[in-house]
Amino acid sequence: MQTIDFIVFYAYLAVVLIVGLTMYRRQHTEKEFFLAGRSLGWFPLGISIMITMLTAVNFAAFPAEIFKNGCYVLIALPIFIVVAFPVSKIFIPFFQKQKTSSPYAFLEDVFDLKTRCLASILFMLWRLIWMAVALYASARILSAVTGYQLWSLILICGIITVAYTSFGGLRAVVWTDVAQFFVLLSGIITALILVSLTTEGGFGGIFANALEHNVFKPVVPYDPEFFSFDPTIRTTFWSGTIGTMVAFLARYGADQMVIQRYLAAKSLPEARKSFAFNIVCVLSILFLLVIFGMAMHSYAVHTDIMGKFSKPLKYMAVLIRSLPYGAAGLLAAALLSATMSSIDSGINACSLAWIKDFYHRFFNKEEFSKAHHIRYSVYFSIVIGVLIIVFAELFIIVFGKHHSIFAMVNKVINGLGSPLLVLVVLGMFKHRLRANSVFWGVIIGTLFSISTALFVEHLALHYYAVVNLLATVAICYILDFVFQKNRLTAVGDPTGESVGRPSPMDET
């Protein structure tokens, strides 16, 4: 990277920090800090939902998948349209009408307090691991592009993200997400245009190269195993559709980071519009990343470096460093924006989970001033941010420069998503399972999910979410059957269980 690239890169960091910190003066209540006063429209929320779910891991993994294995991954794209119906018709209206800022508060009404707390703990554990991996992954890629030390990039990026998130609240998160989306979009488009200008035949040459080198498989050439029911094949039509559907339902229906945006919308129509706009944005970005993966392949072929590296990320780094006129700095900023937008959302959502589901319920049952509540929200946001930085730095020591960390941790993340989805859906539909059955079933299901991620090797990646979902449901029903036969009926309560009630502190 040249001097102009570093200027562009640092200018991006400065602008994001300034935009985020300017929102601090508007933080007068927890409702403002966590939900932006329920005043946001569909445009910023739609972009925020999209870019919240897109990290540098996705930014790098999608083109790398195209580069190395072809277009199998495209089977996941239509699933965004498929899940739009249940999310828009069932999940969004359910959460939008909630009068609390805690998305999991309804579980206390349906089951009990410990089940509500379990949902928040699962969410925080899920997203804490996810954010640390996202920060580590983006720093790995940026280190290859900029030449900076890995630990320094983690520290710089982490501190800046923590700063504007902790003081600016959700409003700062959403509007910096909007800015980061356009940085990401412009970075990808600029890179594609510049690569096409250096490729014989332009974009047509990029696609011709992809066709010649079988990048369009499983369509051209046709892969007969693509419709196989063999669960050990890396990617098939069935694993790609069913597994992705479960993962997307967990993402858009049970993840507090996304649910928080439904709650922050002005109205139900605005929330639905934001989700629809999110689908448009994410499909646009992913299609561009598909072309970027093909451009990486074309660049490697035409510069005679194909086969020089064993990892697709090396080719991406070489391609980015070759871009002129500050484009490398812009794309480096785009890589960083994909991660910062996810980390800032995760920090704010984890802070909300702690404040509403634990702090107000167990540590601060008295009324304090609004400034007191905001101060503690800021403090906990900083604590979460510090933990993310520490965990990301520890990944350097534990995993060194090996890439196996990404596949392994992504399996664990999917494993935590499925049990949380089971818990939320059972609560939404007020299923007549007993609270203890659900509580212990989800805990055992989570442990089972982590075990499959760590010890089950020969299973299609997309199937982990499905297996974890089915196992958690089965465990809940088995435990309910066992508890029903062996429980001792409490006096005056035929179920032997008490149902909790939400605290007045939950209302915003």
- Greater model confidence, 375 or 278: 278
Confidence of residue 277 (pLDDT cuts 50, 70, 90): very high
Confidence of residue 412 (pLDDT cuts 50, 70, 90): low
Confidence of residue 501 (pLDDT cuts 50, 70, 90): very low
Q: What's the distance, CA 172 to chain centroid?
A: 18
Whether pLDDT at 500 is above 50 = no
| pLDDT the model gives residue 401 | 53
d(CA 103, CA 256): 6
d(CA 221, CA 213): 10
Bridge partners (DSSP) listed for residue 507: 100
Confidence of residue 492 (pLDDT cuts 50, 70, 90): very low
Q: How far apart are the first and last CA of the chain?
A: 48
d(CA 289, CA 216): 14
- Sorted by where each starts, the structural domains of the chain and their CATH numbers stand as 19-502 (1.20.1730.10)
Whether pLDDT at 421 is above 80 = yes
| pLDDT the model gives residue 414 | 67
Whether pLDDT at 417 is above 80 = yes
| pLDDT the model gives residue 419 | 92
CA distances from 76 to 79, 167, 239, 354, 504 (A): 6, 37, 10, 33, 42
d(CA 257, CA 120): 12
Whether pLDDT at 180 is above 60 = yes
Confidence of residue 156 (pLDDT cuts 50, 70, 90): confident
- At position 452, the amino acid (one-letter code) is T
| pLDDT the model gives residue 3 | 77
d(CA 292, CA 79): 21
Whether pLDDT at 490 is above 60 = no
Of 162-171, 252-261, 374-383, least confident by mean pLDDT is 162-171
Write the pLDDT tens digit of every residue in 294-305: 999 988 888 888
Q: What's the distance, CA 493 to chain centroid?
A: 41
Mean pLDDT of 329-337: 78
Q: Which helix (H) or strand (E) holds 158?
A: helix 150-197
Peptide bond into 221 cis (omega under 30): yes
| pLDDT the model gives residue 445 | 93
| pLDDT the model gives residue 507 | 45
Write the pLDDT tens digit of every residue in 79-98: 989 999 999 999 999 988 87
d(CA 14, CA 294): 33
Q: What percent of the chain has pLDDT over 70?
A: 82
Contact call for residues 116 and 268 (beta carbons, < 8 A):
no
Global pTM value: 0.82
d(CA 346, CA 431): 29
Whether pLDDT at 107 is above 50 = yes
Whether pLDDT at 151 is above 50 = yes
Whether pLDDT at 407 is above 70 = no
Residue 269, Cβ neighbours under 10 Å: how many? 11
Whether pLDDT at 42 is above 50 = yes
- Greater model confidence, 188 or 53: 188
Mean pLDDT of the chain: 79
- At position 119, the amino acid (one-letter code) is A
Contact call for residues 336 and 12 (beta carbons, < 8 A):
yes
